[in-house]
Copies of this chain bind each other. A is one copy, B any other.
Amino acid sequence: MDVQAYLHERGEWVDAFLDEVLPRPDAVPPSLAQAMRHLVFPGGKRLRPALAFAAAEAVGAPSERALLMAAAVELIHTYSLVHDDLPCMDDDDERRGRPTVHVAYGEAVAVLAGDALQALAFEVLAARGARAGSSERVLGALRDLAEAAGARALVGGQVDDLAVDEMRADAAAIESVHLRKSGALIAVAIVGGARLGGADAATLARLRRFGDCVGVAFQIADDLLDRDTDGACSLVRILGETGARVRAEALLAEALAEVDDLGERAEPLRDLARFAVRRER
């Protein structure tokens, strides 16, 4: 499979939908509408949406069935970046070559834009999901997403990440941060996409383990691409470059073993996992 073409095409699907659901400047305070869109367009690789689409395909459903999850996960991912960049957190002025949201719109609007993006993620799932099909499935996907976004996963991971210097973290502690801060949203994109695609409980459990492994390995790949690991929550700092690469490959192999019996139709999902771990940017 041509991973870049898959990312590009599925990225266009989710972009069109996000443009439709994000509020326009005549519906909300204009600075809020602009701040909410600032980091969504242009976005990143749209890897999480692509994983959601591929997970629906992997369980035999049409790719499009995962659209709500693809969009909702991207909204949560974006909100978390807006808040991570704030002066009281990582204090970043630039992201993807542009000013961060608080630099462009002020700190208060950045906090509030993040808050509104989180609410929108759940609104999209609940409002469109009621129309789209089984309420049970949608409610299940929504619960998965709320858990992944909450204190036990995304937010708790960020709290520990901020304290990682004080923690004198070992490899296990760093992987625990990766699992919660990065892994959980990647895993829920996959599990939620498969859930909307009608997967059974046993398949969902395997995809969850697949997603957790891919999520941690994805973050190790990020650490490998980031030259500046001083004091950072990075496995490269503990294991060295080769050790980190070996660990990422082991996690990828563990992930792929989980989805071995899903056959040919899971090939896009496997290819995206290989890409996530081995990418060069």
Residues of A with Cβ closer than 8 Å to B? 23, 27-29, 31-33, 36, 79-80, 83, 86, 88-89, 106-109, 111-112, 114-116, 118-120, 122-123, 126-127, 129-130, 135-136, 138-140, 142-143, 146-147, 149-152, 154-156, 158-160, 162-163
Q: Once the chains are docked, how many angstroms separate the CA of A154 from the CA of B150?
A: 20
Q: Which residues of B contact A83 (CB under 8 A)?
A: 111-112, 115
Q: Which residues of B contact A149 (CB under 8 A)?
A: 115, 119
Among B89, B120, B151, the residue within 8 A (CB) of A23 is B151
Q: Can you name the residue of chain B whose Cβ is closest to the Cβ of A76?
A: B119
**Copies of this chain, whole number:** 2
Q: Once the chains are docked, how many angstroms separate the CA of A91 from the CA of B96?
A: 31
Are A29 and B146 in contact, CB atoms less than 8 angstroms apart? no
Among B116, B135, B151, the residue within 8 A (CB) of A119 is B151
Q: Which residues of B contact A146 (CB under 8 A)?
A: 119-120, 122-123, 126-127
Q: Once the chains are docked, how many angstroms separate the CA of A119 from the CA of B115?
A: 10
Q: Once the chains are docked, how many angstroms separate the CA of A127 from the CA of B108?
A: 31
Q: Which residues of B contact A27 (CB under 8 A)?
A: 151-152
Q: Which residues of B contact A106 (CB under 8 A)?
A: 88
Q: Which residues of B contact A33 (CB under 8 A)?
A: 151
Among B28, B88, B111, B154, the residue within 8 A (CB) of A151 is B28
Q: Which residues of B contact A143 (CB under 8 A)?
A: 123, 126-127, 130
Among B80, B127, B151, the residue within 8 A (CB) of A32 is B151
9 further contact pairs, Cβ within 8 A, besides A28-B152, A28-B159, A86-B111: A28-B151, A88-B108, A115-B115, A116-B151, A120-B151, A123-B143, A123-B147, A126-B139, A130-B139
A-B CB contact pairs (8 Å), 21 listed: A29-B163, A32-B156, A33-B151, A86-B111, A89-B108, A89-B111, A111-B111, A112-B158, A115-B118, A115-B149, A118-B119, A119-B146, A119-B151, A119-B154, A120-B150, A122-B122, A126-B139, A127-B146, A127-B147, A135-B138, A139-B139
